């Protein structure tokens, strides 16, 4: 897939859609065109029936994403108007990633800082290499962190750890990230990509409608009861039971073979 900037790369490999932040010289700091590239890549994979899982990673060995490209801030985030324009693009990218109708995994190696944490939190799961470091240094820059980003962190690590991360603005080790629940799995550096590839392959082999229904149901479970869409919850479950994949799953079980799901 060709994107508008070469600092973002999107590639398909079987049922996995890989999105790479390709700015290793700046530890994969995200520029405005890269935020747009993230939106474009996720949107394209969302519409591609061959892609069952989306994995995000950083180019090189030093960083997943080290944050937003601060060198742009004087020009693109220095006035109310430019801040709003910048935020609209970055928020659209992370919201699209968060809401995409397919499972998402952040494959983290090295620095995961600021906007990198926001990207990782927008994914369903985070798998990190030993030695990775995490931080949200907003309090060291004097910038305001909008509610949606704070809420996503609270949803994952809880209010006490969220306060600690923001109040201290310090770097946390990968093991600390596991303790907080920020990271699902911690694996050796040299086995990170193969582990994630196998993990994503396992998910991709499962019934897409079932996996997609769980993503919808978990999102609804995180909402206040008054805001939940009960009809949607019932519909995604019913769709699973009415699908050809449900027939295939039962048949494969009886025939003692692996099922071949089509997402229909």
Domain residue spans of the chain: 8-203, 207-254
pLDDT mean over 26-33? 93
Question: With contact defined as beta carbons under 8 Å apart, do 129 and 189 qualify?
Answer: yes
pTM (2 d.p.): 0.93
Buried b (16+ CB within 10 A) or exposed e, 168-199: eeeebebebbeebebbbebbeeeebbeebbeb
Which band of pLDDT confidence, cut at 50, 70 and 90, is reported for residue 87?
confident
pLDDT, mean of residues 4-31 = 94
d(CA 42, CA 39): 5
Kindly state the helix (H) or strand (E) to which residue 91 belongs, with its residue range.
helix 80-99
Pick the CATH number of 8-203 from 3.40.50.20, 3.30.450.70, 3.90.226.10, 3.40.190.10: 3.90.226.10
pLDDT tens across 125-171, in order?
Answer: 999 999 999 999 999 988 888 898 899 999 999 999 999 999 999 99
Q: Which of 219, 205, 52 is nearest to 122 (CA)?
A: 219
Whole-number pLDDT of residue 141: 85
Q: In what order do the strands lie in the sheet with 53-58?
A: 8-13, 16-21, 53-58, 104-108, 125-129, 185-187
pLDDT in tens, 217-240: 999 999 999 999 999 999 999 999
Question: What pLDDT is attached to residue 75?
Answer: 56
Provide CB contacts within 8 A for 5, sequence distance 6+: 31, 33, 34, 36, 37
How many Å apart are CA 120 and CA 181, to the nearest integer? 13
Task: Note the pLDDT of residue 74.
Answer: 57
- Using the predicted structure, report yes or no on whether residue 77 has a pLDDT greater than 70: no
Average pLDDT, the chain: 93
> What b/e readout covers 136-159, taking b as 16+ CB neighbours within 10 angstroms?
bbbeeeeeeeeeebbebbeebbee
63-67, 83-87, 89-93, 166-170, range with the lowest pLDDT = 83-87
pLDDT at 79: 61
pLDDT at position 194 = 97
């Amino acid at each position: 897939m060709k994107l508008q900037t070469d600092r973002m790369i999107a590639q398909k490999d079987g049922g996995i859609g890989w999105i790479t932040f390709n700015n290793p010289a700046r530890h994969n700091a995200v520029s405005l065109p890269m935020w747009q590239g993230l939106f474009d890549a996720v949107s394209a994979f969302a519409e591609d029936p061959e892609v069952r899982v989306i994995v995000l990673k950083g180019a090189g060995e030093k960083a997943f994403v080290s944050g937003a490209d601060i060198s742009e801030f004087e020009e693109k985030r220095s006035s109310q108007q430019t801040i709003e324009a910048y935020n609209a693009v970055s928020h659209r990218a992370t919201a699209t990633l968060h809401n995409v109708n397919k499972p998402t995994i952040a494959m983290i190696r090295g620095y995961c800082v600021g906007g990198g944490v926001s990207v990782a939190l927008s994914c369903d799961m985070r798998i990190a290499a030993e030695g990775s470091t995490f931080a949200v240094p907003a309090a060291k820059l004097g910038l305001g962190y909008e509610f949606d980003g704070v809420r996503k962190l609270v949803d994952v690590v809880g209010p006490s750890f969220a306060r600690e991360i923001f109040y201290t603005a310090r770097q946390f080790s990968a093991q600390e990230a596991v303790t907080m629940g920020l990271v699902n799995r911690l694996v050796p550096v040299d086995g990170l990509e193969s582990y994630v590839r196998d993990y994503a392959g396992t998910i991709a082999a499962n019934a897409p409608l079932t996996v997609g229904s769980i993503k919808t149901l978990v999102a609804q479970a995180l909402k206040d009861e008054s805001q939940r869409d009960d009809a949607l919850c019932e519909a995604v479950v019913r769709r699973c039971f009415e699908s050809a994949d449900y027939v295939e799953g039962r048949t494969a079980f009886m025939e003692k073979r692996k099922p071949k799901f089509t997402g229909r």
